[in-house]
Structure 1
Amino acid sequence: MGYGVKDVLRMEVAPALGCTEPSAIALAAAAAASLLEGETAEAIEVWVDPNVYKNGLAVSIPGARGASGLDLAAALGVFGGDPYRKLEVLDTVDDQALATSKRFVRAGAVSVHLVDDRQGLYVRARVSAAGRTAECTIQGVHDGITRLTLDGEELPDHPLLRRTSGEQESLQELEEWLRTLSLQDLLDLLDDLDEDDLAFLEQGVEYNLRLAEHGRKYGPGLGIGLGLDRLVRERLLQRDMVLEAKILTSSAADARMSGVKLPAMSSGGSGNHGLTAILPIWAVKDFVAHQSKREVLEAIALSHLVTAYVKAHTGRLSAVCGCSVAAGAGATAGVTYLLGGNHHHIAGAIKNLVGDLAGVICDGAKAGCAFKLATAAGTAVQAALFSLHGVNVQATDGIVGASPEQTMQNLGTLSCVGMIETDHTILRIMLEKQFDLD
């Protein structure tokens, strides 16, 4: 199909402001509202698949001063969002838009519906105003606008559609291509990185470091990163490359999950995946002598490639924590590469990581994700170090396969087939808890 590393970076790595599920809801609502040409919205309806519902239920929304909720995300998209900014749709939200959105939600003008039999990422938003109705549908990927209608009539030539429909088809083809590759093929792609690619990879580091620095300084959310840093200062923990990876990555997650208005460079459709794919490698570089900037960026590129490979098998959203097993696999591949490991060592590190973290569930996006990112980051470094010293999980163990490719494919089977009922159970528990809290 003629794809290369530049295509993977272009389609799988992008800036995202806040958790991508509330952002997708805000994007759909903002796109629908934009069709009404300035009319003041009177009602908003939203339909979402179970995984979008699960991931958007409790996480803080950028610009919302710690507030959360699928209904509020939709209202913010309508009253303050810019759909042409895609997953940075909420970057334009101000205090006035927040106040208006909260009043709108309190008035009961936003309804959210769970489409519990829907497979794959799905968001549909309907906005009504002055006797007119506009709808936007997002499918497949968080910013994949596939349908726009105004008063029931489709708008096939709308520029928001032109920017996304072709991209989604290309992404599906890219994922098909990725599934045919081997780990060696992914390593070979690093030879094709050019200066533009390296500059883009460095920009991703800068985005995610800003989040980490904010989290480390102010301790938002649960303050996991700041807490670990404090334990080092109190000499209760010793700073090493494993702990530094945990501190840096969890600090960024603390900031992002608390709604800090700073974008993350995502990977595989998720901002938290991007934090896990990039920051452990950046943390490790300070413990390694004689590594050039290009080698560090190559390691990060490999991390994105492996993350995309795993996501091509597991799907965008599932009951398995992708930050742990997809971005974690990418991170351990990148760390091993940076530490001088060869194909054999990288393969072993991926199998070690999967053998350790395959059971981590995704129970929605929330402040507590910082715990899981800390675990994924630290385990990614540990798995690499073990592999470099000849410690490898064997193919006789659980879902670990004889090769890294088979291991990652087994993850896909576990995620897409074996965890369906688990996903339903997780959402049911969350909904019952939400009802009790209300």
Structure 2
Amino acid sequence: MENINLKLLAMLRRELVTSVGCTEPAAVALACATSRRYLCDELAKLSIVVSKDVFKNGFKVGIPGSSQKGLFIAAALGYLFGDSETELEVLSGISSESLPHAEKLVKSGMISIDIDHRYDGLYIKVVAEGDHNSSEVVIQHEHNHVTYIATNGGVIFENLNAGNAGQPNCQEVLDEVSPERIIRFADEVPIEDIAFIYDAAVVNLEAARQGMAQGWGLNIGKTLLSIDDGFEGSSTDLTMSGITRASAWAAAASDARMSGNSCPVVINSGSGNQGITASLPVLSIAKDLGMKKEIVTRALAVSHLMALYQKHFSDRISAFCGVVTAATGAGCGTAYMMGGRLPEIEDTINTALGGISGMICDGAKPSCAMKIALAVQNGLLACVLSLKGKRITPGEGIVAKDACTTIRNIGVLARDGMCRTDEIILQIMLNGDLSSTSNVGPSEESLV
């Protein structure tokens, strides 16, 4: 086998590892478990410093072995019961009997968690202190990559390189390949050498089956299946095929106008794509359900007004893709048409905006149709969830306590927070490739 194939295979084996729970809390738990291993003393204080990205990703996520969320309980469970040899499975096998002890440690105030803004990406430092000894552990670059261990100030292990000893650096390997080379690898590698990849998929399938069988989170997967036959105990006939059709009609209109067709469209917020997105999904669902013209007209009014209202708080043109808010409006209009009122419509807004609010606008072009299709499906799924009493709850990410605050927050994000994003998008569009230079900024000539 060629050397590059061997490297790719080794990289796959390294990357396709098992993790129990979200990997950021698991990495914190791993660092804590490792610190306990080297402390050799009764714990008096556990000081944790993480990058903003680790903190963000671990802040509201559920932790295995508990009904709680966040890094504090993950740290406590990892320190008290984690096996550092299991790496990202460190939180596996946590019993119900273990949880009270972890909760007691959290409540004791011994654990502190701070953010170090000097670090981007993945960075975790844990300092465990006892009456006589101390230990320090750093995980950096990758979730299971311990880069530093010290006891009582003396360094016993240090490896600052991105990658574990004896294993290929993923970035260096990927620098050597291309899409064509990856296809060649898939063509040439002996099937027995990559059997583990299929096994990994089977592991993930079991997780999906459990998600379907039990009431986890918002039940999005189960909801997507259930809406194909309508809700249990409900008179609605909104189906998955109906949602697909709704997104298809909206996307088709964009296909035409973004590719040069001269057909007129009615705009919303200064955008034809947003006008399409706010109207055609509602019409499509109405046709499927046989709705009367009056209720459809009212629903369309709701949709357009909700779209306009959201855009009021942000610039008409920004790095924030406007079809997200337009599709949220369509979700609101559909919820209204199907009997939903303020609670359901507010939940539709929060859930839709909490879903794909990060979609960027990188200029008008034929591929906008793909963004419209995704946004419409997101908006209508939010509608379905709201009618089932499901929603993204306040405090999850950027979702606020009420829809109006969420909309305002999105406006600030689009207007102020994404200014630099807009600049970079423009630079990429103008220059094509910014990866070869650290000076990300087009020349004045390129802007003419």
| TM-score of the aligned structures, taking structure 2 as reference length | 0.52
| Structure 1 position 11, deviation (Å) | 2.2
CA distance in 2, matches of 1:185, 1:154: 41
Gaps of 5+ in 2: 231-236, 246-319, 321-365, 376-393, 398-424, 442-448
Question: Secondary structure at 1:119's aligned position in 2?
Answer: coil
Cα gap change, 1:121/1:417 in structure 2, threshold over 3 Å: closer, same or farther? farther
58, 61, 68: which is aligned to 1:59?
Answer: 61
Contact 2:48–2:124, Cα closer than 8 Å, also in 1: yes
For 1:25, the equivalent position in structure 2 comes to 28
For 2:179, the equivalent position in structure 1 comes to 183
CA distance in 2, matches of 1:198, 1:172: 17
191, 194, 210: which is aligned to 1:195?
Answer: 191
Question: Secondary structure at 1:43's aligned position in 2?
Answer: strand
CA distance in 2, matches of 1:2, 1:201: 20
Cα gap change, 1:181/1:50 in structure 2, threshold over 3 Å: closer, same or farther? same
Contact 2:11–2:168, Cα closer than 8 Å, also in 1: no
CA distance in 2, matches of 1:185, 1:352: 26
| Structure 1 position 170, deviation (Å) | 6.5
Residues 169-190 of structure 1 show CA distances to partners (whole Å, capped at 9, x for unaligned) of 6777331231342211111111
Q: Which residue identity lines up with residue 191 of structure 2 in the other structure?
A: E
| Structure 1 position 107, deviation (Å) | 1.6
Question: Secondary structure at 1:34's aligned position in 2?
Answer: helix
Kindly report which structure 2 residues correspond to 1:72-111, keeping only aligned pairs within 5 A, or say none.
72-111=73-112
Query: Are 2:52 and 1:50 aligned?
Result: yes
Cα gap change, 1:355/1:224 in structure 2, threshold over 3 Å: closer, same or farther? closer
CA distance in 1, matches of 2:440, 2:30: 30
Question: Secondary structure at 1:17's aligned position in 2?
Answer: coil
CA distance in 1, matches of 2:201, 2:224: 21
Kindly report which structure 2 residues correspond to 1:352-431, keeping only aligned pairs within 5 A, or say none.
356=371
CA distance in 2, matches of 1:178, 1:94: 40
Gaps of 5+ in 1: 244-319, 321-350, 361-365, 370-396, 419-438
| Structure 1 position 355, deviation (Å) | 7.2
Question: Secondary structure at 1:111's aligned position in 2?
Answer: strand
Residues 202-226 of structure 1 show CA distances to partners (whole Å, capped at 9, x for unaligned) of 1111111111101111130111111
- Please say which of residues 147-156 and 16-25 is displaced more in the overlay: 147-156
218, 227, 231: which is aligned to 1:231?
Answer: 227
Question: Secondary structure at 1:155's aligned position in 2?
Answer: strand
Cα gap change, 1:45/1:169 in structure 2, threshold over 3 Å: closer, same or farther? same
| TM-score of the aligned structures, taking structure 1 as reference length | 0.53
Cα gap change, 1:368/1:110 in structure 2, threshold over 3 Å: closer, same or farther? closer
Contact 1:59–1:367, Cα closer than 8 Å, also in 2: no
For 1:70, the equivalent position in structure 2 comes to 71
| Structure 1 position 367, deviation (Å) | 11
Residues 17-41 of structure 1 show CA distances to partners (whole Å, capped at 9, x for unaligned) of 110000010000100001134x432
Question: Secondary structure at 2:148's aligned position in 1?
Answer: strand
Q: Which residue identity lines up with residue 202 of structure 1 in the other structure?
A: Y
Larger relative contact order (Cα-Cα within 8 Å, sequence gap ≥ 6): 1
Q: Considering fraction of residues, name the structure with more helix.
A: 1
Q: What RMSD over aligned residues (CA atoms) do the two structures have, in Å? A: 4.1
